[in-house]
């Protein structure tokens, strides 16, 4: 199934491109699917979940071969702890059977990244994936707010095999499901970026209120 999906990227990238030339086919960057949902615990909003799948020609690590990038970006808010993000990522190179976990991953903008908010990275329970955590600090929130409002896109930079140069994959939040046979009939949602960012702000606000309530009880 994954090999068919990667092969289909070439077709989708060509059709989606404004000029389907050889150059366009060799420079594919396409979001395949996104799914956004709020997370509730005991009736309270405690998180936001974003699942995604995208594809690109990776010239940084795979000599231009197509790569399938699958993952999730979740905002967590746990009692007694500040909110934080978890970025789970796996990369599948065209022709390979198994996903490979990236060495590092960050959220990026045109000029910077959220590396300053990095907390930990651990192997995921899913083979071939790795989980990277970041505090919900100023750098992460600014990038998230700016990019989602500007072009409804979250950009993720990842490295492979201990490399230092990031390969960037844009995740277009409005692309709910790409139609490979006829990309113009893909399922789109122009409200998705606002929904994601709004959920983030609501979770952080709720976490601050819980923290204030705990402090008030302690006085």
Residue spans per domain, the chain: 2-218
User: What residues have CB less than 8 Å from 206, skipping those under 6 apart?
Assistant: 44, 45, 46, 77
Q: Locate tokens 């746990």: which residue?
A: 78
Q: Give the pLDDT confidence of 190-199 residue by residue, as tens digits.
A: 999 999 999 9
Q: What is the pLDDT of residue 32?
A: 95
Other CB atoms within a 10 A radius of the CB of residue 82 amount to 14
Q: What is the pTM of this model?
A: 0.86
Q: What is the pLDDT of residue 76?
A: 94
Q: What is the pLDDT of residue 196?
A: 96
Spatial strand order of the sheet with 167-172 comes to: 104-108, 153-159, 167-172
Query: DSSP assignment, residue 174?
Result: T
Q: What is the pLDDT of residue 210?
A: 80
Query: Nearest 5 degrees, angle CA 126-CA 180-CA 59?
Result: 65
The shares of helix, strand and coil residues in the chain, as percent rounded to the nearest 5, are 30, 40, 30
For the chain, which residues score pLDDT lower than 70? 1-26, 214-219
Distance separating alpha carbons of residues 209 and 160, to the nearest angstrom: 40
Q: What is the pLDDT of residue 115?
A: 97
Other CB atoms within a 10 A radius of the CB of residue 102 amount to 27
Q: Give the pLDDT confidence of 95-111 residue by residue, as tens digits.
A: 899 999 999 999 999 88
């Amino acid at each position: 199934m994954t090999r068919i999906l990667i092969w289909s990227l070439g077709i989708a990238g060509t059709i989606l491109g404004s000029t389907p030339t050889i150059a366009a086919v060799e420079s594919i960057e396409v979001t395949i699917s996104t799914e956004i949902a709020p997370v509730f615990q005991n009736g309270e909003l405690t998180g936001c979940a974003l699942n995604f799948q995208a594809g690109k020609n990776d010239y940084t690590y795979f000599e231009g071969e197509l790569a399938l990038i699958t993952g999730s970006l979740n905002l967590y808010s746990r009692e007694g702890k500040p909110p934080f993000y978890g970025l789970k990522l796996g990369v599948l190179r065209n022709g390979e059977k198994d996903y490979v976990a990236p060495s590092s991953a960050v959220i990026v903008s045109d000029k910077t990244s959220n590396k300053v908010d990095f907390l930990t990275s651990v192997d995921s329970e899913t083979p071939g994936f790795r989980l990277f955590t970041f505090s919900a600090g100023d750098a992460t929130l600014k990038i998230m707010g700016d990019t989602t409002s500007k072009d409804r896109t979250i950009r993720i930079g990842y490295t492979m095999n201990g490399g230092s140069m990031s390969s960037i994959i844009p995740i277009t939040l409005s692309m709910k499901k790409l139609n490979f046979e006829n990309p113009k009939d893909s399922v789109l949602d122009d409200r998705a970026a606002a929904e994601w960012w709004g959920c983030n702000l609501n979770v952080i606000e709720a976490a601050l209120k819980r923290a204030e309530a705990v402090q008030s009880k302690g006085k």
